[in-house]
Amino acid sequence: EFFWRMSLSFRYSSSTESKLAQDIKRIDEILKSNRPNYEDVKVYLSSPKDLIETGFSAGSSYCKAILCLLAYHEPKDFQDNGKVILDNSWLKVANSKNYHHFFPKAYLRKNNIGNENSLVNITLVSADLNKRKIKAKAPSIYIQDFLDENEELPISIKSHLIDNLDNFGVMSDDYLVFLEKRANSIFNELKKRIELKHKEDKKEDKVKELIIGGENETLEIKSTLRFDLKENIVNKKLEYVVAKTISAFLNTEGGTLIIGVDDDGNALGLEKDIQTLTKQNIDGFELHLRQVIKKYLGDYFEKYIKVTFPKVDDKEICLIQISKSGKPVFVTYEGNESFFVRNGNSSIPKNRQEQSEYEKIHWN
């Protein structure tokens, strides 16, 4: 229970030393055969939907916990039912070939399905198998190839928490059904190990849950608005990137942009940006942000944008909630207009023809 609670709580994202001291006391209680008090440790998992909305990241303790669950079931090779060899030296690498997107990312992107990096889409396979056999094929195609040479695959696939190839949408290439069914399988396995219930929490916890879920079609996270952390200078191109992201959300189904959080989900706050402004406070930050939006997008779209400043781990961050626009949004940069939409966790441009076709479908 201790392992699952610590792994699924995002506990060590901040104040590591004080939390470590608390958890050593918990371990002491466990060694005495006593169950520790976990009231201050919130598990960020209340339904299978939380798993679907969590983006896969090899460096996340949350994702590693789910990978441990998958490894515990000793996944079998699709080709010969042999036990998948999991190499620890590779598993810590984000692009390890052991990590297989069951619905390949390239396939999902080609078909504009989205959410291709969902944690629920990850299976553990032999590195060589992923590279040689699967590539970017639709699941119905590559699984049928394996079925032709391995008649026991419908049984061995259960070791991946995929109970039935047809019911799980595999043979019909139905990604949404697959996510729903497999998320339920994973969630039910977790419930055998830990009680997945908690009280409704404050706004900070809800924002944390967003961050933990990682970037997806409706969420993007930026470290800063304009301050380049690598070069240690103001970089106004970063402002353009923020405007581009907002425009993509406006042109798709809306979404959330968070500023002040790094790639690992750690709250950085807004101080680096604020120190570069004439008015060095939160009001000054919001004023400058709205000026950036007006500069690149115009002032018509302000009604679709809500800006708030919640605190996460005692750091004030910027939460921008964006609604779907009622008409196309263009980004003006260096005299050129561009049209962006969301695809997975990216904002991608569309050329004139693609844009015209998209408008007919999206705004009709």
Beta-sheet strands, E only, within 137-268 = 219-222, 227-228, 233-234, 255-259
pLDDT the model gives residue 244: 95
Tokens representing 38 are: 């976990």
Q: CA 122, 125, 131, 136 torsion: positive or negative?
A: negative
pLDDT the model gives residue 214: 80
Q: SS3 for 308?
A: strand
**What residue ranges of the chain have pLDDT lower than 50?**
198-201
Check: CB of residue 260 under 8 Å from CB of residue 318: yes
Q: What is the DSSP string of 33-53?
A: T-PPP-TT---S-SSHHHHHT
Residue keyed to tokens 């598993």: 91
Q: How far is CA 358 from CA 335, 354, 355, in A?
A: 23, 6, 5
pLDDT the model gives residue 135: 78
CA dist., res. 180 & res. 121, Å (int): 10
Summarised one tens digit per residue, pLDDT across range 187-229 is 999 989 887 754 444 566 778 878 877 888 889 999 999 999 9
Check: CB of residue 13 under 8 Å from CB of residue 313: yes
Q: What are the extents of the domains in the chain? A: 45-191, 215-362
Topology classification of domain 215-362 = 3.30.950
pLDDT the model gives residue 95: 65
Could you tell me whether strands 219-222 and 122-124 are parallel, antiparallel, or unpaired per DSSP bridges? unpaired
**Interacting residues of 140 by C-beta distance below 8 A, sequence separation 6+:** 170, 171, 172, 173
